[in-house]
Structure 1
Amino acid sequence: MSDTISHPVFAINHIAAPNMTPAEFFQLAKSLGLSDVEIRNDLGGNAIVDGTPAAEVRAMAESAGVRIATINALQRFNQWTPEREREAIELADYARDVGASALVLVPVNDGSGQTDGERQANLRTALTALKPILEQRGLMGFVEPLGFEICSLRSKREAVEAIEAVGGRDRFKLVHDTFHHHLAGEPELFPAMTGMVHISGVADPDLAVGEMRDPHRVLVDADDRLGNVRQMRELIDQGYTGLFSFEPFAREVQELENPSEALASSMDTIKAGLV
């Protein structure tokens, strides 16, 4: 087995330590030996929400010696409206100015827009409109299917087909989220079309798959039920060379006094499993 298997390239999403300021979060990443981070636009009282100029956040990241891989995320991207267009332009401008490489695109997740034909058409409309917005700013768009049964985009294959239909292979990639991949039950992987992998675990033994929700998502440990290590190994074996970014939503993780120790332990668990 190749050396690459035991040395995945990790990153962290700000949701792993949402109470940290951007500067503290960037230092956390650096202390863990990481070079890449994801910042978010849904953390109250924190950049981007508090209005911190992109240039300031970019300077903080550069000072810490880390790269901003993505801004997470343009929500409800596949419900394209004039309001969504304004949001997309504003967020894409910020992503460009902060030095991010990509904008994560999250679909409608409230039970609407799910009917066959409607959801595919909505997705193509949104990708067609987003393509020039991203191109003009030198950004990639990372489409993230969600595994929840109420989501309007659960299938990675459907996302890939839409990307190809709008001629967007050079502008759009997938987010493979290990949690959502498990929930969706779609076996196929698309490593060549994957731009980012989000990793988190579920350890609660009493949860049915259909009951799993974001608050159950902890750091990957020996009790992980989602098959993170297996998913990662398959992606790497099939040629994926990108980032594996920690994205835990569980409050017990987010409120840790020493997230560095817990993240380092999870990295060690994953590396040991990949050998």
Structure 2
Amino acid sequence: MRQATPRIALDRVAAPRVDVREFFALARDQGMTEVDIRDLGINAIERGVPAANVRSAAAEAGVRIISVNALQRFNEWTPAREAEASNLADYAAACGAKALVLVPVNDGSWPAYGERQGNLRVALKALKPILQSRGLIGLIEPLGFHTCSLRSKKAAAKAVAAVDGQSVFRLVHDTFHHTLAGEAFFSCELTGLVHISGVNDPTFWIYPDRVLGGSDNGSQIRALLDGGYAGPFSFELVEETHTLDDLARAFAASVDLIEHGLLTRESV
């Protein structure tokens, strides 16, 4: 059955400078019960806060941690990457997260498509037992940048099927990267998380402008809901939000914009 309205969540990147308790309270005060946390450098996994403390802070605020973001360069599998994956998976499980986001190599250094797909399958096979043993889902996030080794959700879905990984892996549908990659592929049954972001000009790929609400979010959200996706839609907003005087008000206005747009379109 179609989910009537999006389950809105909040990503840590939208408010990186507050501490974790303030972040959880910000989400709760907006009526959000789900959050994503991440390694941002300035709060590299939550500025060293022990996972148990993050878990208790989430419980006190009444929010659920969807994911820890992210294992970088996951499709370049090495002994060092394996150790990093195990450590991040341990942290994710200990803080109560349900998933670990997997971000591909994004430096333009990759070989032909066939070899990239082979490397991707190697990484997914190696990640399966790491994630399964900790009860985690791996959220694969293709990036729309021309420099990325995995731009396409369709290619990611093909690799998941090739390693029989449907019980372990899901896709991140990022509205920004979907637009940037010019991708028409939706896989609602394999999607595990949606990032609500934005892009005004998909040709300006080096550092595109992202805004609250975005330019194509409504149609993508509608397509995902119509296709049966019932998971969270997480606000993943970048630098434009960090200087706002009233962040909570901006989030509330953005939620209203999206929900009003969906209702208006459905009533036509």
Q: Please classify the TM superposition score into its range, dividing by the shorter chain length.
A: over 0.9
Aligned twin of 2:88: 91
In structure 1, what is the equivalent of residue 186 of structure 2? 189
Counterparts of 2:27 and 2:111 in 1: how far apart (Å)? 38
- Mapped to 2, the partners of 1:39 and 1:143 lie a distance apart of 16
| Match of residue 71 from structure 1 | 68
1:11 partner SS: strand
Map of 2:241 onto structure 1: 253
C-alpha displacement of 1:239: 0.4
**Structure 1 residue 186: deviation in Å?**
1.5
Tell me if structure 2 keeps the 8 A contact 1:17–1:255.
Answer: no
**What corresponds to 1:243 in structure 2?**
232
Cα gap change, 1:40/1:255 in structure 2, threshold over 3 Å: closer, same or farther?
same
Task: Return closer, same or farther for 1:259/1:114 CA change in 2, 3 Å cut-off.
Answer: farther
Contact 1:147 1:183 in 2 (8 A): yes
What is the 5 A alignment of 1:40-59?
A: 40-44=38-42, 46=43, 48=45, 50-59=47-56
Secondary structure at the residue paired with 1:189? coil
Paired AA for residue 245 in structure 1: S
- Aligned match of 2:266: none
Amino acid at match of 2:25: Q
Write the mapping of 1:1-275 to structure 2, written as runs, cut at 5 A.
4-5=3-4, 7-44=5-42, 46=43, 48=45, 50-203=47-200, 207=201, 209-213=202-206, 216-220=209-213, 224-225=214-215, 227-249=216-238, 251-275=239-263
**In structure 1, what residue type is equivalent to 2:245?**
E
CA distance in 2: counterparts of 1:49 and 1:23, whole angstroms: 10
Whole-Å separation in 2 of the counterparts to 1:108 and 1:39 = 20
Render the CA deviation track for 1:3-36: whole Å, top value 9, x for unaligned: 833x210001010011110000000000000000
| Residue identity matched to 2:228 | G
Question: How far 1:217 moved relative to its partner?
Answer: 1.6
SS in 2 for 1:93: helix
The one-letter code sitting in structure 1 at the alignment partner of 2:34 is D
Cα offset, 1:113, TM superposition? 1.9
Compute the displacement of 1:94 (Å).
0.1
**Take 1:58 and 1:32, find their aligned partners in 2: how far apart are those partners?**
20
How many pairs are equivalent? 263
Checking the alignment, whether the CA contact within 8 Å between 1:43 and 1:49 is kept in structure 2 is no
CA distance in 2, matches of 1:78, 1:252: 30
One-letter code of the match for 1:231? Answer: Q
1:202-224 per-residue CA deviation (whole Å, 9 max, x = no partner) reads 34xxx4x221455622210xxx3
TM-aligned CA deviation for residue 130 of structure 1: 0.3
Listed as ranges, the gaps of 5+ residues in structure 2 are: 264-268
- Please state whether the residue corresponding to 1:137 is helix, strand or coil: coil
Unpaired runs of 5+ in structure 1?
none
Any conservation in 2 of the 1:18–1:43 contact (CA below 8 Å)?
no
Identity over the aligned pairs, expressed in percent? 54
Equivalent residue of 1:133, what SS?
Answer: helix
